[in-house]
């Protein structure tokens, strides 16, 4: 048949999941389509001849139809694009994590800014963030202070995040989960790229025209704490002391000796 050996070791492009191509298609006739047109029902050998003339493959895309539907396409390109889509899907799935940032009911000022900075960093990286307010001792009797902390964090991240799970008490921890809004990761990447390009342009203008071997400026340096992990960020909140009383006890005064 047309001089091309049927399947076997000479046909290296083995189909997956029952997908048959070229001489692996055994039925006498097929319905043929291309990217641009429908060629109708043709004898299989005629469909193979048309595919070979175009330097393409005959791929059975709907084997259960009667007759089966085959498409004339570049099978190698099709497999490459499918593999690329799967790789991107796996990459997106594998990079989405849930990070946890811990707060105290009275976290504010510099500590709040430091933690929110990392909350935003995780969100811009495509991760969800679990916000945990950890209560100690009698602090648990004032849950509103924890709610105020969570509301402040949500407000400071409102431009890039939305609430996925509303506040919920889990023992001595008040938990809320926030997630990045659509497009946040892409916008963050574009912003970093624009900042780098602006730094390049400013550096080039400052140095003036240079020779062909002049090196481009390095990317702008990040802060020292831009790569801190969760344990380092949460170092100031130790869950192990949750049951301790925040109010220190007054030491007992030894009895005053009386004269006999």
pLDDT of residue 7: 42
Residues 53 and 169 in one domain: no
Q: Who has greater pLDDT, 226 or 1?
A: 226
User: Are residues 105 and 144 both part of a single domain?
Assistant: yes
Q: Which residues pair with 165 in a beta bridge?
A: 177
- Integer Cα distance of 119 and 249 in angstroms: 36
- Other Cβ atoms closer than 10 A to 132: 20
Domain identity same for 58 and 158: no
Higher pLDDT, 212 or 76: 76
115 or 222: which leads in pLDDT = 115
Q: Clarify whether residues 51 and 133 are in a common domain.
A: no
Number of folded domains in the chain?
Answer: 2
> Is residue 215, in this structure, part of any structural domain at all?
no
Q: Evaluate if residue 46 carries a pLDDT over 70.
A: yes
Q: Are residues 63 and 27 in the same domain?
A: yes
Concatenated DSSP letters of 75-107: HHHHHHHHHHHHHHHHHHHHH--EEEEEE-TT-
The domain in which residue 67 lies consists of 22-75
Each residue's pLDDT tens digit, 54-82: 999 999 999 989 999 999 999 989 888 98
CATH of the domain at 68: 3.10.20.80
- 138 and 231 in a common domain: yes
Question: Tens of pLDDT along 98-140?
Answer: 999 999 999 999 999 999 999 999 999 889 999 999 999 999 9
107 with 229, same domain?
A: yes
């Amino acid at each position: 048949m047309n001089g091309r050996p049927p399947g076997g070791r000479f046909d290296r492009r083995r189909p997956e999941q029952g997908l048959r191509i070229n001489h692996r298609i055994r039925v006498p006739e097929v319905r043929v389509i291309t990217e641009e047109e429908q060629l109708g029902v043709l004898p299989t050998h005629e469909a193979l001849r048309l595919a070979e003339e175009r330097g393409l493959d005959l791929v059975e895309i709907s084997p259960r139809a009667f007759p089966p539907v085959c498409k004339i396409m570049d099978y190698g390109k099709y497999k490459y694009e499918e593999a690329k889509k799967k790789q991107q899907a796996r990459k997106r799935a594998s990079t989405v994590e849930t990070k946890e940032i811990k707060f105290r009911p009275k976290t504010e000022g510099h500590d709040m800014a430091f933690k929110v900075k990392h909350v935003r960093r995780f969100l811009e990286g495509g991760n969800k963030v679990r916000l945990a307010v950890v209560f100690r001792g009698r602090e648990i009797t004032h849950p509103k202070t924890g709610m105020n902390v969570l509301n402040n964090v949500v407000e400071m991240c409102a431009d890039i995040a939305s609430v996925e799970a509303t506040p919920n008490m889990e023992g001595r921890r008040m938990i809320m989960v926030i997630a990045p809004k659509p497009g946040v990761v892409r916008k963050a990447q574009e912003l970093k790229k624009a900042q780098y390009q602006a730094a390049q342009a400013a550096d080039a203008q400052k140095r003036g025209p240079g020779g062909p071997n002049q090196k481009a400026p390095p990317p702008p340096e990040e802060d020292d704490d831009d790569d801190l992990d969760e344990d380092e960020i949460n170092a100031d909140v130790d869950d192990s002391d949750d049951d301790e009383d925040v109010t220190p006890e007054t030491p007992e005064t030894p009895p005053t000796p009386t004269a006999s």
